[in-house]
Structure 1
Amino acid sequence: MTSGSRPLDPSDLLDLRDLLSDEERAVQQTVRRFLDEAAHPFVAEWFETGRFPTHLIPRLGELGLLGMRLTDYGGAGANAVSYGLACLELEAADSALRSFVSVQGSLAMEALWRYGSTEQKDHWLPRLASGEAVGCFGLTEPDHGSDPSAMRTTARRNGQGWVLNGTKMWITNGGIADVAVVWARTDDGIKGFCVPRDTPGFTTRDLRGKLSLRASVTSELIFDQCRLPHDAELPKARGLRAPLSCLNEARYGIIWGALGAARTCFETALRYAREREQFGKPIGAFQLTQEKLVDMAVELNRGLLLALHLGRLKDQGRLRPEQVSMGKLSNVRAALHIARTARTILGANGISSEYPVLRHANNLESVRTYEGTDEIHTLILGEAITGLSAFR
């Protein structure tokens, strides 16, 4: 059947599906079927109780979603577009699932794969890829989020090893991680370290009272005279450029993931508008409601076109960090607009956990902040456009 003869898909007004390869479509369908069975029916309860579904971690590994871009050590070797589509489907269920996969693969595993020793890779990457082990990425600190160059965590040489002191904050997966990739200031600049959970002096504290990303494990990492062997250092990581390169990988996943949350909100509002009657007819028949739905559909499809274009650039090795900033800034902004507009269509029902809309809107507030705030990405683009830095 040609695209012109099949029914119009409101979530794919531009027929972008036709621009995907058979393999890319298969990845998306496989992840979507898995989540329809294992996540969508239960995620509202996970959010309500503040619980991450750890029982799904091995299944995520079986599907090849952990370290999906890596070509060895158990990675699936998927292209950037396939990874993006997986992120979209994961976040269509809940941002917590995409965040877990993103931190595990694009941050912890990516850092070990790029900058770790052969021994570190051999020991950790296959276990992280299968879901046997969980990783986290310790960069952000309580007083230094947008400016990691001012970090206070230190690593001092002590005999044949290191002593790590400091605190990391807002660390996804921290409380369930078997290994943390931690960045610290040394006499020779910023370095990365591989810190197993059972290292003396390393403890975690989960953050409570969150109104966003409630189904995600968010933790504080505490290092108090934490003694590490000399080979805990990531030997190929030099300076802040190393962790920032990993953040760029995670930001790419957000470009797609945010649209998954947006799609769920749009489709929920569309179904509701067709079924909910006021003044003797479905509210979707009113001009004001149609304007909202069209506005959401345009934003969603424009975001998908941007994500696909950036994914193709990434697969060609041509994607620039500034372009990732543009994608993250634009698509998260669009996703939040869609979620908030969807809530207005649902009226009072929009605040109920019976519907996923406000849950996604709350989650997207965190997505908007982590991996670079709107302000930071604006200044990155501002410097790219003017050639003038506003940071220093």
Structure 2
Amino acid sequence: MSIAAPFLAFLLIGAIAAYHRLRLPVWAALTVTALLACWLLGANATATIVATAIVAVIAVPLLLPQIRLPYITAPLLKFYTKILPPLSETERVALEAGTVGFEGELFSGKPDWNVLLSQPKPTLTAEEQAFVDGPTEALCRMIDDWEINHVHADLQPELWDFIKKNRFFGMIVPKEYGGLGFSALANHKVIQKLASISSVVSSTVGVPNSLGPAELLMHYGTQEQKDHYLPRLADGREVPCFGLTGPWAGSDATSIPDFGIVAMGDWNGARVVGVKLTFDKRYITLAPVATLIGLAFRMYDPDGLIGDKRDIGITLALLPADTAGVEIGRRHFPLNSTFQNGPIRGHEVFIPLSQLIGGEAFAGKGWQMLVECLSIGRSITLPSTASGGAKMAAIVTGAYARIRKQFGLSIGRFEGVEEALARIGGNAYTISALAEASAAAVARGELPAVPSTISKYHCTELGRQVCQDAMDIHGGKGIILGPKNYLGRAWQASPIAITVEGANIMTRSLMIFGQGAILCHPWVLKEMKAATLADEGERLREFDKNLFGHIGFAISNAVRSWWFGLSNARFGAAPGDAYTRRFYRKLNRYSAVLALMADTSMLLLGGKLKFKESLSGRLGDVLSNLYIASAVLKRYEDEGRPVSDQPLLAWSFHDAINKTETALSTALRNFPIRPVGWLLWALVFPLGRRAQAPSDRLGHKVASLLMSPNEARDRLAFGVFTTPCANNPAGRINSYLQKVILAEPVERKFLKAMKSKDIEALSFPAQLDEGVREGWISADERQQLQELREMTIDAISVDDFDPEELRSAGYRREQYEDRAAA
């Protein structure tokens, strides 16, 4: 046998052991057995002895703890504690606040797909579904978005009354406090449906059921606070808002300058210990109409009235809006949208300690409270709003593209429009799956810190892309505002969702990977905790266990990344059916690559990684798109693997994988340590990049699904307000699709006759009459074409106004007063 045989056996057994993550003793035994076989089969003796010696040098010190602990682990622990970046209290709280779900499997390099696929299909209870079909549907029928935005600049009184009477503000409040006690999934479904007709109404309903007084009281409030406020919040007697953001603290909520000084003061006729609050908040949704304010501030006790700690920390309080000194009621005007949003200010506003959420015991714990509840709110309101808008845009734009004709052809048949339609359909499918996945996680009792940021960021970004493509297809129909316009408001409002609950730029570059790399990694957080244990012996043992687990993990991911790249992930165990198994294998590949890139980046860059925001953002894109691809696969499985959904699934999946490879290649080409980037490229892309964006052929299938009635289109439309009533022009257009398609053969026959015959009539009704007289069409077909014309006019027409109608009410009043004075 060749002199190379023992070394080849050594490498092959090592690669197999790493790929399957076999334990070190198993690797050593298999390798020794293989080398013995090589020797017996006549391999070069010297080469066999050298290979065996290498095995011994590696295995013996690692397998014997009396050698490994003092001579290997202890020096490494000493080095690790020196390079370990210090965690601020803010970062520590953020890391400990959330729970880890399936996203942890994506960091494992070898996902256990049963963790995902065994999750129950998200379903509503009968009571929750009845609420969506009943009061939510009724509320949608009442909404006139034009009246809200251009006439009243607010919800009409009857809408406010209906919302309060039916306890829309109390969806998350438990039934024992007078609320509806709904799950996060039901909350998602209600917001999604409302958003499909009015983002103003969905925001109004969403905020009280998101981060705010009710959520915080349910988790941290004293029993007295719960008993008093929760029933009032549930039935609308109290309208809540939450003041967090200010001029000097936007995404960096921990640096809020608003403060409260512990002092004596008067409250309800008694002299009590309390806090004098000075604050300046802005961008606060529902503030202009709020009666109860949740407030975040930094609390100080300079006189030691409640303890010996001067800087107590971020604290949360409940502040009645009519408290003396509170300035509230003025409004911001967010991008021509009239949802209630405005500033709150106050100077030395006194409240007793009993108004602190959770009472005095929770003073200084505000950041922890916020972080734990932010992940819940961020998982629901904005993703659900994006889902409702995207789903509605997809089905209505598909119908519009079939109805609207240019050059005698539906505009959806033009390849340029078809390309945009495909993006709309694929992205709407993605947003819907992602929004439901995050809501389902909360409904299962999780605190999805990382998935909530992924969902918020990508749902809002993809929602903006859907809206842009829909606007491009609609053209003038989307530009001209008026009661018939169902897109213009969404386009104007799309940047709002991008900036709130954490600006998207910061979310991508700092939060997704920065938090995920530590919280979701199977070893990093364990190593960090082990290195800080007080007992020296326990610290060494725990660090040893986690360190060498991490080393084996890293070697395994390097091997798996290279093998999957070489084989294009065509082999390996994977769930799914014959259609989707290849998708799961690709995710196995990129999970290993993500883990490899995360380990390499954290090892070589250490604490500097948090400042490498471009690299962090790109690795966050990898994690996000793997999570998105997993979410759409779970949706497909939950729906029973419908064949008609396969174009939507495939478009969404290939788009996510193409974005994954783009992010990886960009990260590697710009890796701060260039030789390491080259080496990683050889492991990750040994045969170069292979992923491609969804093909034109696949895009054609997706666009076709949107432009004709079918089961896949119905599933995509499920949960949005499609009722074809007077206040829902989008729903009317969608309802025309079936009739338009049935009339198309008659229309083609009539147009052919017009071209080949000498028709004298010029107006359309007269042409129809002449067609009936000449026998080109029947009387029934004439009626069908007349209805087609009426539906087309309703679909494509836009509004116009008397110039005076467009002047502001204030301007008109001034003109009237000037004329009266003259």
Matched, 1:301 2:414: no
Which amino acid in the other structure matches residue 63 of structure 1?
A: N
Q: Distance in 2 between matches of 1:255 and 1:333?
A: 10
| Contact kept in structure 1, 2:379 and 2:442, CA below 8 Å | no
User: Could you say what secondary structure the match of 1:164 adopts?
Assistant: strand
* Residue in 2 that maps onto 1:5: none
Please list, as runs of the form range in 1=range in 2, the aligned pairs for 1:155-166 lying within 5 A after superposition.
155-159=260-264, 160-166=273-279
Which amino acid in the other structure matches residue 221 of structure 1?
A: I
Which residue of 370, 375, 380 maps to 1:243?
A: 370
* Residue in 1 that maps onto 2:166: 63
User: Could you say what secondary structure the match of 2:280 adopts?
Assistant: strand
| Contact kept in structure 1, 2:387 and 2:435, CA below 8 Å | no
Deviations 1:146-181 (A, max 9, x none): 011111111111112211111111001101111101
Deviations 1:105-161 (A, max 9, x none): 222211222222222222221111112220110111112110111111111111122
Unaligned runs of 5+ in 1: 1-17
Residues 205 and 79 of structure 1, relative CA distance in 2, 3 Å threshold: closer
The size of the alignment, in residue pairs, is 372
| Contact kept in structure 1, 2:243 and 2:296, CA below 8 Å | yes
Residues 87 and 276 of structure 1, relative CA distance in 2, 3 Å threshold: same
Deviations 1:172-204 (A, max 9, x none): 110111110111111211111111111001011
Which residue of 297, 302, 321 maps to 1:197?
A: 321
* Residue in 2 that maps onto 1:363: 493
User: Could you say what secondary structure the match of 1:318 adopts?
Assistant: coil
Q: Distance in 2 between matches of 1:136 and 1:306?
A: 27
Deviations 1:12-31 (A, max 9, x none): xxxxxx96446354443335
Q: Distance in 2 between matches of 1:282 and 1:249?
A: 44
CA apart distance, 1:102: 2.3
Residues 226 and 80 of structure 1, relative CA distance in 2, 3 Å threshold: same
Q: Distance in 2 between matches of 1:244 and 1:184?
A: 15
User: Could you say what secondary structure the match of 1:216 adopts?
Assistant: coil
| Contact kept in structure 1, 2:242 and 2:284, CA below 8 Å | yes
Q: Distance in 2 between matches of 1:285 and 1:25?
A: 38
User: Could you say what secondary structure the match of 2:463 adopts?
Assistant: helix
Q: Distance in 1 between matches of 2:333 and 2:379?
A: 28
Q: Distance in 1 between matches of 2:122 and 2:222?
A: 39
Which residue of 196, 203, 211 maps to 1:99?
A: 203
| Contact kept in structure 2, 1:102 and 1:250, CA below 8 Å | no
Q: Distance in 1 between matches of 2:171 and 2:329?
A: 29
Which amino acid in the other structure matches residue 207 of structure 2?
A: V
Matched, 1:38 2:142: yes
Which amino acid in the other structure matches residue 145 of structure 2?
A: V
**Larger deviation: 88-97 or 379-388?**
379-388
Q: Distance in 2 between matches of 1:345 and 1:248?
A: 35
Q: TM-score, normalised by structure 2?
A: 0.43
CA apart distance, 1:377: 2.0
**Structure 1: which 4+ aligned runs deviate by more than 4 Å?**
none
Which amino acid in the other structure matches residue 149 of structure 1?
A: T
Q: Distance in 2 between matches of 1:313 and 1:90?
A: 22
Q: Distance in 2 between matches of 1:252 and 1:371?
A: 10
Q: Distance in 2 between matches of 1:267 and 1:64?
A: 30
CA apart distance, 1:365: 1.0
Residues 32 and 127 of structure 1, relative CA distance in 2, 3 Å threshold: closer
Q: Distance in 1 between matches of 2:242 and 2:289?
A: 12
* Residue in 2 that maps onto 1:348: 476
Deviations 1:66-89 (A, max 9, x none): 231232312211122111111101
Q: Distance in 2 between matches of 1:61 and 1:51?
A: 15
* Residue in 2 that maps onto 1:81: 185
* Residue in 1 that maps onto 2:799: none
Deviations 1:328-354 (A, max 9, x none): 111111111111100001112211223
Q: Report which structure shows greater RCO (CA 8 Å, sep ≥6).
A: 1
* Residue in 1 that maps onto 2:502: 372
Residues 357 and 305 of structure 1, relative CA distance in 2, 3 Å threshold: same
* Residue in 2 that maps onto 1:206: 330
Residues 384 and 197 of structure 1, relative CA distance in 2, 3 Å threshold: closer
What is the aligned-residue RMSD (CA, Å)? 2.2
CA apart distance, 1:390: 2.7
CA apart distance, 1:56: 2.1
Q: Distance in 2 between matches of 1:21 and 1:62?
A: 22
| Contact kept in structure 2, 1:58 and 1:132, CA below 8 Å | no
Q: Distance in 2 between matches of 1:37 and 1:316?
A: 32
* Residue in 1 that maps onto 2:610: 390
CA apart distance, 1:287: 2.6
User: Could you say what secondary structure the match of 1:119 adopts?
Assistant: helix
Q: Distance in 2 between matches of 1:384 and 1:229?
A: 36
* Residue in 1 that maps onto 2:251: 146
Q: Distance in 2 between matches of 1:278 and 1:240?
A: 57
Q: Distance in 2 between matches of 1:259 and 1:54?
A: 27
User: Could you say what secondary structure the match of 1:240 adopts?
Assistant: helix
CA apart distance, 1:209: 4.0
Q: Distance in 1 between matches of 2:492 and 2:372?
A: 28
Residues 200 and 231 of structure 1, relative CA distance in 2, 3 Å threshold: same
User: Could you say what secondary structure the match of 1:96 adopts?
Assistant: helix
User: Could you say what secondary structure the match of 2:170 adopts?
Assistant: coil
Larger Rg: 2
Residues 132 and 275 of structure 1, relative CA distance in 2, 3 Å threshold: same
* Residue in 1 that maps onto 2:150: 48
Which amino acid in the other structure matches residue 197 of structure 1?
A: A
Unaligned runs of 5+ in 2: 1-120, 265-272, 301-311, 519-606, 613-822
User: Could you say what secondary structure the match of 1:167 adopts?
Assistant: strand
User: Could you say what secondary structure the match of 1:206 adopts?
Assistant: coil
* Residue in 2 that maps onto 1:12: none
User: Could you say what secondary structure the match of 1:171 adopts?
Assistant: strand
Deviations 1:335-378 (A, max 9, x none): 11111100001112211223121211222211111111112321
Greater helix share, 1 or 2?
2
Matched, 1:274 2:402: yes
User: Could you say what secondary structure the match of 2:335 adopts?
Assistant: coil
Q: Distance in 1 between matches of 2:290 and 2:122?
A: 38
| Contact kept in structure 1, 2:173 and 2:181, CA below 8 Å | yes
CA apart distance, 1:288: 2.3
Q: Distance in 2 between matches of 1:344 and 1:227?
A: 53
Q: Distance in 2 between matches of 1:335 and 1:149?
A: 29
Q: Distance in 2 between matches of 1:139 and 1:329?
A: 20
Which residue of 350, 354, 362 maps to 1:227?
A: 350
